[in-house]
Amino acid sequence: MVRFWKTLNTIYDDLIIVILVAVLLVVIYSAYDTGYVFKQAADDTYTRFRPDRVNAAGLEGSPITDDMVGWIVIDDTSIDYPIMQGEDNLEYLNLDPAGKFSLSGSIFLDCRNSPDFKDPYSVIYGHHMQYGKMFGALDDFLNEDYLASHTTGKLMVGRNAETTYDLKVIYAVSADAKDEIVFDITSDEEVRRILASKGFTGNDRILGLVTCTDADSTERTILFCYILEN
């Protein structure tokens, strides 16, 4: 009987060790995965190919695919990215601008929008990443003081920035992903009514920047901008 209990204790001890090792491996993997995703999101490989920084010849060496329809910059923030557009709104969720698999994905224009941004209401999506990377920076705009001090940006349209527009950042809000008005590119009149209720009555084209608040929520953060005619 004593031998039986000793054997049982040995099995128990071994089991505890296996569980602790498994937990340690999960923690190590989680740390690696978080670091890997952040590194992808923080990768500045593409910023040197921003159209206003290179001439047409320089773009020939760009790794960014022909799905690039423009570039967006919000002044004094980390938002400085190429804008991609896929055949559907799933394509660039996990593809980087070079078309390679990436958990941080790309900033991309709604597949239903015109790539020249001539629609009355255009919507751009991006993952919510830590430390303000990708569209994680949109969180700050929910603070009215921050919003009031970050109201300018630039939209470069086309792979070679054939047209450049100034952006006027006007309003940020949280909404449910099921909100048909905010996420329907044909609902520009309804969006204008929402903005008018907040005191914004401009007739300029509207640009919405959208990100999730976290992976387990249907809540989204939307930053509205006017696309100003030059």
Q: Given this model, what pLDDT does residue 82 score?
A: 96
pLDDT band of 228, cuts 50, 70, 90 = very high
Separation between Cα atoms, residue 96 and residue 106, nearest integer Å: 5
Structure confidence at residue 22 (pLDDT): 47
**What's the chain's average pLDDT?**
83
Say what the pLDDT of residue 106 is.
Answer: 96
Q: Is 77 exposed, middle or buried (0-12, 13-18, 19+ CB in 10 A)?
A: middle
Condensed to tens digits (0 to 9), the pLDDT of residues 192-207 reads: 999 999 999 999 999 9
Average pLDDT over residues 51-57: 70
Per-residue model confidence (pLDDT) at position 101: 93
Res. 108: pLDDT tops 70: yes
Of the two residues 178 and 18, the one the predictor is more confident about is 178
- The 3-class secondary structure across 103-169, one letter per residue, is CCCCEEECCCCCCCCCCCEEEEECCECHHHCEHHHHHHHHCHHHHHHCCEEEEEECCCCCEEEEEEE
Q: Which one has a higher pLDDT value, 29 or 107?
A: 107
Instruction: Please say if the pLDDT value at position 27 is more than 50.
Output: no
Half-sphere exposure of 36 (CA within 13 A, CB side): 9
From the list 10, 31, 135, the residue with the least C-alpha distance to 79 is: 135
| Whole-angstrom distance, CA of residue 73 vs CA of residue 93 | 20
CA gap 200, 141 in Å, rounded: 16
Integer Cα distance of 206 and 203 in angstroms = 9
Residue 44 has pLDDT above 80, yes or no: no
Whole-number pLDDT of residue 32:
35
Q: Which residue type is seen at 71? A: W
Q: Residue 182's pLDDT is what?
A: 83
Q: Which long-range contacts (CB under 8 A, 24 or more apart) does 38-41 make?
A: 38/104, 38/129, 38/130, 38/131, 38/133, 40/96, 40/102, 40/103, 40/104, 41/104, 41/127, 41/129, 41/130, 41/133, 41/134
Provide the token pair at 29: 């993997």
pTM value is 0.79
Could you report the per-residue pLDDT of 126-151, keeping only the tens digit for each?
Answer: 998 877 789 999 999 999 999 999 99
Domains and CATH numbers, the chain: 47-228 (2.40.260.10)
Question: Residue 214 contacts by C-beta under 8 Å, 6 or more apart in sequence?
Answer: 128
> Is the pLDDT reported for residue 26 higher than 70?
no
Whether residue 173 has pLDDT greater than 90 = yes
The 10 Å Cβ neighbour count of residue 101 is 9
Residue 20 has pLDDT above 90, yes or no: no
Identify the helix (H) or strand (E) that includes residue 22. helix 2-41
Residues 166-180 have a mean pLDDT of: 91
Q: How far is it, in rounded angstroms, from Cα 178 to Cα 166? A: 30
